[in-house]
Amino acid sequence: MTLAPKLSDIASEPGSVPGRSLGARLRTWFFTGLVIFGPVAVTVYIAWWFIDTVDNWVKPLVPARFWPDSYLPFHVPGFGVVIAIVGLTLLGFLAANIAGRTLVRIGEALLDRTPVVRGIYKSVKQIFETVFSQSGTQFRKVGLVEFPVKGSWSIVFITAEPAVAVAGVLPPGEMTSVFLPCTPNPTTGFYFFIPTADVIELPMTPEDAVKLIVSAGVVQPEGQAALAAMAHAARHEHAPEAIAPHGRAAE
């Protein structure tokens, strides 16, 4: 299977190499253009989709006289995103005041008395508080655990200590809950409890960890060699003590 050459390798090649056919050169130029244009095109598409989606959500809530499209002969994208950011910031400001907190408590009390909506709201609220909380540590730490077999290491997100109801039935000792994402879709994975001593915290940001997982190791963050050395050292730390001949422990 022929893989696309790296952009640095392509750029370092001379314009015409003796012995190379026209087809080989055309293929090299094609992959060069694909490597340059592909990421830009995907980024622009995702950004445009997000802006257009938010605009369509916000537009019905704002009177037409406030939209620039009503006075300009062309569409102005992103105005809905600006309105949404301003509105959410204002909502957070109001909720920080006594009157705002009172209204929030009243609204939550009403939702808490609705049978079906109550469970959905509490679950979604907990997820948003976990992900977007500025003071929380959930999903802000990255670690290594031995998974799926001994001697192989997988990246996990360290979430939090087990709840009291769960910790009471777990084996004795300090335990930590971790989330092990799948490749290439990190929104799915395994959530489990593991002894804290078996988790190796890494000096890696969650963003770098996501890049590494989504790309299946193709996009390597800086310091990857150091991470591999840490995993190698941890493997020897967790390995059982070597046994010398005649059953005596090696000194």
The pLDDT, as a whole number, for residue 173 is 77
- Band the pLDDT of 241: cuts 50, 70, 90: very low
Contact 239, 231 (CB under 8 A): no
CA–CA separation, 49 vs 165, rounded Å?
43
Radius of gyration over alpha carbons of the chain, in Å? 27
CB 122 within 8 A of CB 130: no
DSSP reduced 3-state for 50: helix
Percent of the chain with pLDDT over 70: 75
Q: Is the pLDDT of residue 139 over 80?
A: no
Q: Give the whole-angstrom CA distance, residue 143 versus residue 157.
A: 6
Is 195 in a helix, a strand, or coil?
A: strand
- Between CA 205 and CA 143 the distance in angstroms is 10
pLDDT averaged over every residue in the chain: 75
Most confident of 23-37, 102-116, 198-212, 217-231: 23-37
Tokens of 172: 């004795």
- The DSSP line for 207-222 is HHHHHHHHTTTSSPPT
- What pLDDT shows up at residue 132? 62
Is the predicted pLDDT of residue 197 greater than 80, yes or no?
Answer: yes
Closest residue by Cα to residue 181 from 166, 191, 195: 191
Inter-helix orientation angle 79-95/98-112, to 10°? 100
Q: Encoding tokens for residue 127? A: 């997820």
Class of the CATH-defined domain 141-238: mainly beta
